[in-house]
Structure 1
Amino acid sequence: MWFRFQVFFQVKSTRLNDLRKLMQENHINAYIVCNVNENLGKLTSHDRRLEALSGFSGLIGTAVVTLDSAALWTDGRTFQTAIDDVTCGWSVFRKGGKETTSLVDWIYEHVENPISVGASPYLFSAVWWNNFQKIFEVKNTTFVPMYTDLIDLVWTEDRPPLPTSPIHILPPQISGETWQSKIERTLHIMKEKNADILVLTNLGEIAWLFNLRARDFAYDPYFISFCIISARTGIISLYMVEAEKKLTENLETVDIKLFEFLNSSKSGECLKRNCYQDINIYRDDSMETCDKKDENLIEKGYCIEVKEYSPQNLKDVIGNLSRDEHVRKVWVSWDCSQAFITEIPKEKLLIEYTPPLMFKAVKNSAEIEAMKTSTLRDSVFLITYFAGLDERINKGEVLKINDIEAESKKLRKNELFNKGPSGISLIGTGSATSALRPKVTDDIIGKNDVFLFDIGAHYLDGTTDIARSFVFGTPTEKQKDIYTRLLMTQINLAKKKFSIGSTGRDLDTADVRKPLRDVGVDFPHEIGHMIAVYGSIIEGPASISNISEDWSSNVPMDRHIFDCKTCKKSQDLMSPPDGRDYVLEEGMIFSNEPSFYSEGEFGMRLENTMFITKADGGKHCYAFEQLVLIPYEFNLIKTELLSTEQISWLKDYYKTVDKLVTPHLEAKNDSVALKWFKDRINADFLSNI
């Protein structure tokens, strides 16, 4: 074991030394490393450059390497991971910590008169690149774009390849809209913005646009890709890893090949390259049109040219398209990399939320029905599992956290359309639950300890994000008090009615979190994040929050990055739009997850999902409809704390839960689950009020 770790650290040290040699050859004093991929999204094992260099296995991290030192910045949630992981010679800083040195200040403290700082523009958003560049210009330091990432040059052995999982189609009864219709809607928004080119780099947007899914990532059901839509030419280009192979593979959900679904050839050519009938909304008399007699061709509508995934090639394509004198605007998202944006003339650059992102946020009726069905299915499964767990523990069975995690995942796989977990397992017992992201351990579930279960699931027809907290024995007064206040907080948001035009910031008002704040506690993340339909468990663009912390980081992501104590004046730095200020719309799906964390003591979380619908009798008013259908723990509820309105909401919720869940439990003929369920929805305190 010791020898293995010794080799591990030696490899990291060798790579670090090799990187410094390349820095010297390129006359670079410091090199900045971001923990992202070329899509600026989730990481695969192929993308873990920071881990290959330092050993850091976490997700949130930004690092700097100089010729004789190295430092890493991470947030409080992965700070201890960084301390445990990194090799010798690295300093670790906690973003948000007191007296933490910023990344910029650290560079100037450790490099005397730095002439140049390097980084890969493929791994930086335009926002971050612009901010660094502004600061470095003030300090007379050159910010050097390294289009061949230096870490890629030193990480050559044992590097995993890009993943290439099989593609499958989201059936039309779930997507509710063909990809051709989505393309058409996108083109119309592009016309309104005078945008002739749209560049898509966000994997969730691309998967949604084409009604395709895969499993290139541990949890997000997406595939590594890029997309370019040219409204002037009608050409839609999709870039995929091992494109030609995927085009001819059998698809999981339908009896056609991918090339047939995309109206392409087996080698990826668009079958209607020179045919623009019903394709080009900018069509003029000089363009070729379809033969109107060819009804089959016209019915097919748009087609896609499929090419091999290559960030370098995409950069060149964007440059060539952008330099076309007829192109007015090139539209990119806020999470598009600097390498691509560099190719676009400033007067043509449009950085805004893209049409697919905005369309995807508002679920259609088919998507809502699919989410209702999948969440009901998952609720029934969890009720059955929780009931069995309760019985086993109260009979004295010794159960470990890691065994429960493995067992629940295995059983869940048997559910109809199950596609695996939708996120990391947040499961623990006792003091381990006090961490926002508890690690899966072999701890034994204590009968009188808090047990937290927060493991969502993917189904072909939806994604779930559900959390419940339990005490299977006799709870303490504090456990009951906190649980009740979490329930009150959750109900306060769930029962809100709000006007059209409201934002997430408008909903996370003082009255929502008041039950917790009344006893001096709060939780360091948004109360609600958006959820995709068989997609990412956390998606944009909106969030329900009035604080700066969120699930991705317990401090703003740029905290302690750009601060510059030695700059003579403050810099006008860029920032992307704030999701808290995005206007909410009917059909958006959110989590509702108040939480409690007391370090070394215990933590609790209650999480439901819900969607925005029109309020009863209100043309200009919205409300929430619940998706999760799981009762609460009556032994943890202090009824005297609940208001009449909260109890009324709970009664109405249980009526819906009873109506929808009971038939499924009866069909399972599971007397244990049915009794467990009925005990909770028919709790005495509800019938006595």
Structure 2
Amino acid sequence: MKIKDTTKLVSRLRDVMNAATYTDQPLKAIIIPSSDAHQSEYLVECDLRRAFISGFTGSAGTAVVTQSEAALWTDGRYFLQAEQQLDSNWTLMKMGIPETPSIEDWLCTVLPASSCVGVNPLLYSSSSWNKMKNALEKEGHKLLETKQDLVDEVWTNRPSYPCSDLIIVDQSTAGSTCLEKITNVQQMMKDKEVKWTVVTALDEIAWLFNLRASDIQYNPVFLAYAVVGCDSVHLFINQSRITPEISSHLTKSVTIHNYDDVIPFLMDNCASQKTWLSSNSSEAIVSSIYSKYRHMSSNSPISMIKCFKNESEINGMIKANNQDAVALCRFFHWMEQEVPNGQVTECSAAQKSFEFRQQEQDFVSLSFQTISSSGSTGSIIHYSPNPESDRVVDVNEVYLCDSGGQYRTGTTDTTRTVHFGQPSKYVKECFTRVLKVSVLGMICVNQSRTELRCPFESGTFTLIDTGSCPVGMYIGNSERVVSVAADVELKAGLVITDEPGYYEDGKFGIRIENALLCKSAETPYRFDGKQFFKFESLALVPIQAKMIELSLLTAEELAWLNNYHKKCRDVIGSQLQKSGHNDVYDWLIEQTKPIM
């Protein structure tokens, strides 16, 4: 990976910090988070401030620059990437490692007495702000809001904000009209006795208004805020985007405002009335409401509705995953034919998988940058190939492909790890251990209806972390409301991914990922009438048999695998035949033949 020389940028940023043009006092440190004004995971190019100033391009991390030091905090997914991208100006802080200090602890250690630390309040969540503020004040320091983002002052060629066309999602796909969704939110507000709800998350706004766009790569969302009142709805957006068709879709029930007018609106209309705010909202938004009127919640009312899919959305997700499976079967069939020729690289493989998806009906875009990794690059968990790092896919190495698509009916995210030669016994054991934790580990809630240990009852919350995250319906491959170990109840309609993995630095990576739908389950005993649920895999892509060490599988696990492959054969095989892909159909039959 190419290393960016940040020497001049960091020096100029320190000059801006000293000038105190955008703060009341000179700053001894500046915090640069990996977020935008909506705390999005994926950002428009002009919001990639942390990547610009540090050179580290991973999606998660926080940079801190003092007058003499610069440090970057990121999690285990990005340790290797950060080590390869950061230049000598930066110190990598590995989050989750016991000896790594938190940002606030580090600042309190390195700062001189009575220092001022600055951060753009639009880019910092309210919960993070309060935690940092309290920690700094305890040691005699101050956390100050900057009136302008200081990185923007040194980013002389910063791109402008996008303004893509808005797309209407029809009711047959969404399952509910915009007005019906608004009414549901207003009913939740009534139950909580709140007058206003402020919506800052872009995926929630897109879902609420049944609109999509392409402002952010891989995410069909648009830059906007929404404020829902008991008897009014307000959308803050670049008004040039509201065409007559969009206006008709929104109806007169939605009042349109300029995007930048949201905070003045909140201060004038909502500041002294009980207002529902997500704790993930920015400090700039939250501080516009007087503290005694804030109804703070980790989840907004919209996030708690939209993560549980209705019947139309579930059918759409099934359709999207089936289309995606066709594309992936064509891709892996092509890889098996071409990799032995020695001409396929990580980049060309990623491009080919994209081309197969493009040929599927309703395909809109990828849902994230394809992770196409061979051998050692597979150990970089969120590695994506580029011309500088591109390498040939070798028949003697493990190949990992994590990819997904945005379709007009749903979003997909599937990972398969394969070998185009003969995997070693050690690799097979590693793969099989991951497989047992992954889909096969779900047997306890998927398979047998005769054993009491199988389904889980209503009121069960997410407890075990195998890398799970929820998947949206033509919005995003990672919805923020649910993460494993969160306080969200598992119940019918929830779609999550299950994606455990094993990674050996410099050698290989293994990950198996399926999208799972939570469904109602019948049990032989009623247990006082409690409702039980189970998971069903939406992703129907074969698991490579030659990567499996069969001696490690139980009879029950092997039966599950054979049943899963039969479903792949029946559902995806039928679609391949209808599409005329007979050679891929023959490949699928071979890949899914029963394992004895």
TM-score past 0.5 threshold: yes
Q: Percent identity?
A: 27
1:459 aligns with 2:407: yes
1:261 aligns with 2:249: yes
Please list the CA deviations of residues 396-427 of structure 1 after superposition, one character each: whole Å capped at 9, or x if unmatched.
35311111111221232121111111112111
Give the residue type in structure 2 aligned to 1:426: I
Equivalence for 1:368: 314
Q: How is 1:265-664 mapped onto 2 (pairs within 5 angstroms)? A: 271=252, 303-310=253-260, 313-324=261-272, 327=273, 329-352=274-297, 353-394=299-340, 396-440=341-385, 441-489=389-437, 490-496=439-445, 497-505=455-463, 508=464, 526-544=466-484, 579=486, 581-617=487-523, 620-664=531-575
* Structure 1 position 643, deviation (Å): 1.5
Q: Identify which range, 137-146 or 531-540, moves more after superposition.
A: 137-146
Give the 3 Å change call, closer, same or farther, for CA 17–86 of structure 1 in structure 2: farther
Of 7, 11, 17, 1:19 maps to: 17
Please list the CA deviations of residues 366-406 of structure 1 after superposition, one character each: whole Å capped at 9, or x if unmatched.
00001111111111121122112212335x35311111111
* Structure 1 position 65, deviation (Å): 3.0
8 Å contact 2:327–2:353 — kept in the other structure? Answer: no
8 Å contact 2:342–2:392 — kept in the other structure? Answer: no
SS of residue in 2 equivalent to 1:629: coil
Give the 3 Å change call, closer, same or farther, for CA 626–53 of structure 1 in structure 2: closer
Equivalence for 2:235: 238
SS of residue in 1 equivalent to 2:133: helix
Counterpart-to-counterpart distance in 2, 1:486 and 1:76: 18
8 Å contact 2:402–2:413 — kept in the other structure? Answer: yes
Give the 3 Å change call, closer, same or farther, for CA 494–118 of structure 1 in structure 2: same
Counterpart-to-counterpart distance in 2, 1:118 and 1:477: 54
Name the structure, 1 or 2, with higher relative contact order (CA <8 Å, separation 6+): 1
Counterpart-to-counterpart distance in 2, 1:161 and 1:258: 24
Please list the CA deviations of residues 103-125 of structure 1 after superposition, one character each: whole Å capped at 9, or x if unmatched.
33433343321243222222211
Give the residue type in structure 1 aligned to 2:75: D
Give the 3 Å change call, closer, same or farther, for CA 657–80 of structure 1 in structure 2: closer
Equivalence for 2:448: none
Equivalence for 1:216: 215
Equivalence for 1:40: 39
SS of residue in 2 equivalent to 1:78: helix
Give the residue type in structure 1 aligned to 2:195: D
* Structure 1 position 257, deviation (Å): 1.3
SS of residue in 1 equivalent to 2:469: strand
Give the 3 Å change call, closer, same or farther, for CA 202–410 of structure 1 in structure 2: same
Counterpart-to-counterpart distance in 2, 1:351 and 1:650: 45
Equivalence for 2:121: 121
Counterpart-to-counterpart distance in 1, 2:443 and 2:162: 40
Q: Identify which range, 469-478 or 74-83, moves more after superposition.
A: 74-83
Give the 3 Å change call, closer, same or farther, for CA 258–536 of structure 1 in structure 2: same
SS of residue in 2 equivalent to 1:379: helix
Please list the CA deviations of residues 431-487 of structure 1 after superposition, one character each: whole Å capped at 9, or x if unmatched.
221221234143222213211111111111111111111112222111222222222
8 Å contact 2:495–2:515 — kept in the other structure? Answer: yes
Please list the CA deviations of residues 281-333 of structure 1 after superposition, one character each: whole Å capped at 9, or x if unmatched.
xxxxxxxxxxxxxxxxxxxxxx11112211xx322221222345xx3x10001
Equivalence for 2:27: 28
8 Å contact 2:399–2:418 — kept in the other structure? Answer: yes
* Structure 1 position 601, deviation (Å): 2.2
Please list the CA deviations of residues 154-204 of structure 1 after superposition, one character each: whole Å capped at 9, or x if unmatched.
146211111111110112111100010000010011001011010000111
Equivalence for 1:62: 62
SS of residue in 2 equivalent to 1:612: strand
Q: Identify which range, 416-425 or 86-95, moves more after superposition.
A: 86-95
Give the residue type in structure 1 aligned to 2:513: E
Give the residue type in structure 1 aligned to 2:442: L
Counterpart-to-counterpart distance in 2, 1:384 and 1:87: 41
Give the residue type in structure 2 aligned to 1:236: V
* Structure 1 position 211, deviation (Å): 0.8
Of 558, 577, 580, 1:666 maps to: 577
Give the residue type in structure 2 aligned to 1:537: N
Please list the CA deviations of residues 43-98 of structure 1 after superposition, one character each: whole Å capped at 9, or x if unmatched.
22111223343444333232333344433323343345445545664443222345
8 Å contact 1:388–1:672 — kept in the other structure? Answer: no
Equivalence for 1:565: none
Q: How is 1:101-120 mapped onto 2 (pairs within 5 angstroms)? A: 101-120=101-120
SS of residue in 1 equivalent to 2:482: strand
Counterpart-to-counterpart distance in 1, 2:471 and 2:507: 31
Counterpart-to-counterpart distance in 1, 2:404 and 2:115: 49
Give the 3 Å change call, closer, same or farther, for CA 494–223 of structure 1 in structure 2: farther
Equivalence for 1:555: none
Q: Identify which range, 193-202 or 41-50, moves more after superposition.
A: 41-50
Normalization by structure 2: what TM-score? 0.90
SS of residue in 2 equivalent to 1:622: strand
Equivalence for 2:176: 177
Give the 3 Å change call, closer, same or farther, for CA 596–65 of structure 1 in structure 2: closer
Give the number of aligned pairs: 574
Give the residue type in structure 2 aligned to 1:603: G
Give the 3 Å change call, closer, same or farther, for CA 485–347 of structure 1 in structure 2: same
Counterpart-to-counterpart distance in 2, 1:173 and 1:435: 41
Give the 3 Å change call, closer, same or farther, for CA 67–306 of structure 1 in structure 2: same
Equivalence for 1:558: none
Q: Which has the larger radius of gyration?
A: 1
Counterpart-to-counterpart distance in 2, 1:323 and 1:603: 50
Give the residue type in structure 1 aligned to 2:184: R
Give the 3 Å change call, closer, same or farther, for CA 144–634 of structure 1 in structure 2: closer
Counterpart-to-counterpart distance in 2, 1:59 and 1:670: 37
Equivalence for 1:247: 242
Give the residue type in structure 2 aligned to 1:445: V
Give the 3 Å change call, closer, same or farther, for CA 431–146 of structure 1 in structure 2: closer
Structure 1 portions without partners, runs of 5+: 249-255, 264-270, 272-302, 509-524, 546-578
8 Å contact 1:361–1:540 — kept in the other structure? Answer: no
Counterpart-to-counterpart distance in 1, 2:27 and 2:345: 51
Normalization by structure 1: what TM-score? 0.79
Give the 3 Å change call, closer, same or farther, for CA 171–59 of structure 1 in structure 2: same
SS of residue in 1 equivalent to 2:157: coil
Counterpart-to-counterpart distance in 2, 1:64 and 1:540: 25
Give the residue type in structure 2 aligned to 1:246: R
